[in-house]
A and B are shown apart, each in its own frame.
Chain A
Amino acid sequence: MMDRYTLWQRIGIYAGIGVFLTFILLPFFEMFMTSLKPLNHIFRSPYQFWSDDFSFDAYTRMWERVPNLGRYIWNSIFIATSVTILAMIVIVPAAYAYARLDFPFKTQSLGLFLSVNMFAGAVLLIPLYKLMRQLGLLNTYWAMIIPGVAFLIPTGIWLLRGYFEKIPKEMEEAAYMDGASRLYTLRRVILPLAGPGLVVVATTVFITAYAQQYLFAVTFNSDGKLHPLPVGLLQFIGYQNVEWNMMMAAALTGITPVLLVFLFLQRYLVAGLTAGAVKE
């Protein structure tokens, strides 16, 4: 493993990673810089990278400017968590069935599920709106949770099925020989072994649910108390001016709890993504 690359190759690799990371992280950095600047400095021309009057002022004033901000952040996390839990309850047995059981139209039905992903949520907004109205779910948390779950199930099944398939079939056969039922085997053998896979899938579902809330929230919800953060951020847009610095401060504050959780889960993610790569 050591010295697999020459010096120049290594420089090239790090340069590539550097460019890549810059593209990904620069917006976050700019968000942070913006949140520190007074509003009248943000559009200063020529662009000034460093400012002499940085302050964390926006981080305190944003709570006064949008009093419900805390509530919006909470709503975001609540909706994404609910989506994740509900989706996983459906994804786990479905993925197991697609990985191990034989039933008619197995490949066709999975293909059908996945084809749902080809439709952007926006295409289905109007039918979904009618559906929500008929079910009386408009302006409730459910209106934002249910479509989120529905759009994430196919990807989740697809991802988790791969992890289940990597678990040697003989382990299940051994359990079956010893009299264990499918559910017992799933609970005591498969799920513990698929642990990293479950974390990866749950993480993917959570991040996507966190990111896709905006569309469902603006369409299906007009109750101010139920809005998630992305909708709440709109309140920083006033009639005369946009409070960019406070908006950036609020956005950063909103993603911080999620970021911390994922920093903690990182080792599972790495283990999960490489699981099964090495034969034991």
Chain B
Amino acid sequence: MATLELASITKDFGAHKVLSGIDLAIRDREFVVFVGPSGCGKSTLLRIIAGLEAATSGRILIDGQDVSDAAPVDRGISMVFQSYALYPHLSIFENIAFPLRVARLPEAEVKAKVARAADILQLTDKLALKPGQLSGGQRQRVAIGRSIVRNPKVFLFDEPLSNLDAALRGEMRVELSALQRDLDATMVYVTHDQIEAMTMAHRIVVLNKGRIEQFGSPMELYHHPATRFVATFIGQPNMNLIPATVAGTGAEGLTVDFHDGTRMTLPVDPAGAHPGDRVEVGVRPENLRLGQGLAMRLRVLERLGGTTIAYGMLADGLKLCAALPGDTTVHEGEDVGLTFTPADAHVFDAQGRVMRRRQAPALAA
């Protein structure tokens, strides 16, 4: 239905820079998730797109039209708030009908549109109730209903699932993905939960300290994180970072020495690395397996059934985490060896920039 473009958006609160130089092009019918730690500016960016806050500089274009100075309703945008922001004194019907009442639509049209929204969201038998009589998930659906009756071009979601319990959150993730497909809508979704980002997004914007760290598909972010920040933010459990020293560069990639003396050659572009440089080798827990290699003392085992998460420490005190097969016969307190395939390694330079991987898996999406 619409494309959304942000051109060098900045936002200052006094001397404090919240956003600096955000450029972003979101495609028609795309589900884009803004993710980042709290205080990274993701909510502020969403509020700027919504028109609730003015950018200090920069432009917002919807379908190629500059809407930077337009009121939210004229931008063709609707928003679902974290707290749902339902009106407790109005019935579910009137809550969903609110934007239509504001627009003074004829009663028959209001009824038809609310009925359709209620049908999509399975709220038809709840229309006479008040928000206080609904469960968290139902309230969430009412908030979505209020946002879809207006047929906006772009939907914005501000951490809509963070008030729900874990089971319901999983359910709503699936529902939201289905809804996005059914409505054929462009959606921008803000969350601090990387699982929500990975599961729902077509593309993810990772924000950190008011800057875009990376913009790409979930698997792109997983296999080709551009920075150390993205690498540790995406993926569960978090990626392990093992300090190492560059021993040399060659046609096969980068040769590094770990602190325990292990030497490995990793198939990455060594771009500008010199022997003696300090780097960090990133290995995802799921890429670690038992075998000859790093010696780790197991401290805690989390048996999840399908996998066993092993937390431990190297001899130099570095904490590591490995996702091992569920039935692995290891015990807490035991010393084990961990190894990984060199092609699975990510290497970050001292500035946190990644060295491009040569043998990463082809991207699923």
Q: Which of B81, B88, B98 contacts A170 (CB 8 A)?
A: B81
Q: A177-B79, A178-B102 are in contact. Are A170 and B85 (CB under 8 A)?
A: yes
A193 to B88, CA, bound (A): 8
A172-205 CB mask vs B (1 if < 8 Å, else 0) is: 0111111110001000110011000000000000
A177 to B50, CA, bound (A): 8
Chain B residue nearest to A180 (CB atoms) is B102
Q: Which A residues are CB-close (under 8 A) to B73?
A: 177-179
> B234 in the interface, Cβ–Cβ < 8 Å?
no
Q: Which A residues are CB-close (under 8 A) to B315?
A: none
Question: Would you give 21 A-B contacts (Cβ < 8 Å), ordered by A?
Answer: A170-B81, A170-B82, A170-B85, A173-B52, A173-B81, A174-B85, A175-B102, A177-B51, A177-B52, A177-B73, A177-B78, A178-B72, A179-B71, A179-B72, A179-B73, A179-B102, A180-B98, A188-B87, A188-B101, A192-B89, A280-B132
A177 to B81, CA, bound (A): 11
Q: Which of B82, B88, B146 contacts A178 (CB 8 A)?
A: B146
B45-82 CB mask vs A (1 if < 8 Å, else 0) is: 00000111000000000000000000111000111011
> B199 in the interface, Cβ–Cβ < 8 Å?
no
Q: Which A residues are CB-close (under 8 A) to B71?
A: 179
> A171 in the interface, Cβ–Cβ < 8 Å?
yes
Q: Which B residues are CB-close (under 8 A) to A188?
A: 87, 101
State the main secondary structure of chain A at its contact with B: helix
Contact B52 A189 (CB under 8 A): no
Q: A168-B83, A184-B102, A280-B132 are in contact. Are A178 and B78 (CB under 8 A)?
A: yes
Contact B77 A177 (CB under 8 A): yes
A180 to B150, CA, bound (A): 13
Q: Which B residues are CB-close (under 8 A) to A180?
A: 98, 102
Contact residue range for chain A?
A: 10 to 19
Contact A174 B72 (CB under 8 A): no
Number of A-B residue pairs having CB atoms within 8 Å of each other in the complex: 54
User: A-contacting residues of B (Cβ < 8 Å)?
Assistant: 50-52, 71-73, 77-79, 81-83, 85, 87-89, 98-99, 101-103, 132, 146, 150
Q: Which A residues are CB-close (under 8 A) to B85?
A: 168, 170-171, 173-174
Q: Which B residues are CB-close (under 8 A) to A280?
A: 88, 132
Contact B89 A174 (CB under 8 A): no
A171 to B86, CA, bound (A): 7
Other than the given A174-B85, A177-B51, A178-B98, 14 more pairs (CB < 8 A) read: A168-B85, A171-B87, A173-B52, A173-B81, A174-B81, A177-B52, A177-B72, A177-B73, A177-B78, A178-B78, A178-B146, A184-B102, A193-B88, A280-B88
Chain B residue nearest to A189 (CB atoms) is B87
Q: Which A residues are CB-close (under 8 A) to B78?
A: 177-178
A168 to B87, CA, bound (A): 10
A window 212-232: CB within 8 A of B: none
Q: Which B residues are CB-close (under 8 A) to A178?
A: 72-73, 78, 98-99, 102, 146, 150
With a 10 A CB-CB cut-off, give which of A168, A177, A188, A280 has the most chain B CB atoms: A177
Nearest 5 CB-CB pairs, A to B? A179-B73, A178-B99, A174-B85, A170-B85, A192-B89
Contact A176 B87 (CB under 8 A): no
Q: What is the minimal beta-carbon distance from B285 to any residue of chain A, in angstroms?
A: 38
A171 to B90, CA, bound (A): 12
A window 149-177: CB within 8 A of B: 168, 170-171, 173-177
Q: What is the minimal beta-carbon distance from A102 to any residue of chain B, in angstroms?
A: 13
Q: Which A residues are CB-close (under 8 A) to B72?
A: 176-179
Q: Which B residues are CB-close (under 8 A) to A170?
A: 81-83, 85
A45 to B301, CA, bound (A): 90
A31 to B52, CA, bound (A): 59
Q: What is the minimal beta-carbon distance from A189 to any residue of chain B, in angstroms?
A: 6
Q: Which B residues are CB-close (under 8 A) to A177?
A: 50-52, 72-73, 77-79
With a 10 A CB-CB cut-off, give which of A174, A176, A184 has the most chain B CB atoms: A174
Q: Which A residues are CB-close (under 8 A) to B51?
A: 177
A178 to B98, CA, bound (A): 8
Chain B residue nearest to A181 (CB atoms) is B102
